[in-house]
Structure 1
Amino acid sequence: MEWLVGFAPFAMVLGIIWLVQRGKLEEKKLAATAEATGEKAAQYASRVQELEDRVKVLERIVTDRGYDIATQIEALRDTVKVESRDAGIPLNLNDKEKA
């Protein structure tokens, strides 16, 4: 029982050191989490600003006088049709030259 009385202060010191180290570790974890959260918030804010700028441009295009959406869509469709057609001289690969 006497050894327990002699061991108690040593155990208390070890316990205090362990608690202090654990507290420091928790603080580091919180700081790392806060930093990562701050970085993500900044990235989201940047992305939101980009999207807001794009919406402003689209609003300006749509509300611009003389802008005809239907005409622009048809022009785009015509471009796609032209690009999908064959161009140049048709090749008839089944007919080979006879020597």
Structure 2
Amino acid sequence: MDGIIIPILGISCGLLAIFGGVFVKPWFAYRQRKLELEAQLIAEKAAQYAANNGRLEQRVQVLERIITDSGYEVAHAIENLRETPVTRIEKEEV
């Protein structure tokens, strides 16, 4: 009985190594590649958000300059004039 266990263990270890090389190793490579691609997509999205954030900050700075500028009052008055209803003057028939 003891003489048969050693060859069975040897064959089992060989089969396990073959199984690992054929199925497990490619699966780990697949998972690694998938994680790399996901990380790349996340990095691209982060770069897009950073660029968008920069543009928004520039726009806020422009708005801050407009509001703190003394010309804002003039522009605001013009906008108020646009919002008031215009009364029509009927032409007199000649």
TM-score, reference length from structure 1: 0.64
| 1:73 corresponding residue in structure 2 | 79
Tell me whether 64-73 or 19-28 shows the greater mean CA deviation.
Answer: 64-73
CA RMSD after TM alignment: 2.7
| Structure 1 residue runs without a partner (length 5+) | 83-99
Rounded to whole Å, the distance in 2 between the matches of 1:55 and 1:35 is 30
After TM superposition, the structure 1 = structure 2 runs for residues 73-92 of structure 1, keeping only pairs within 5 Å, are: 73-77=79-83
Tell me, which stretches of 5 or more residues in structure 2 are unaligned?
Answer: 87-94
Q: 2:46 aligns with which of 31, 35, 41?
A: 41
Q: Structure 2 matches for 1:15-26, cutoff 5 A? A: 15-17=19-21, 18-26=23-31
2:91 aligned partner = none
After the TM superposition, which parts of structure 1 deviate over 3 Å for at least 4 consecutive aligned residues? none
- SS of 2:71's equivalent in the other structure is coil
Of 11, 31, 34, which residue of structure 2 is paired with 1:29?
A: 34
Matches of 1:71 and 1:44, distance apart in 2 = 37
TM-score normalized by the length of structure 2:
0.67
Residue 65 of structure 2 corresponds to 60
Q: Which letter maps to 1:62?
A: I
Count matched residues.
80
Deviations 1:48-67 (A, max 9, x none): 11110110000000001232
Percent identity between the two aligned chains: 32
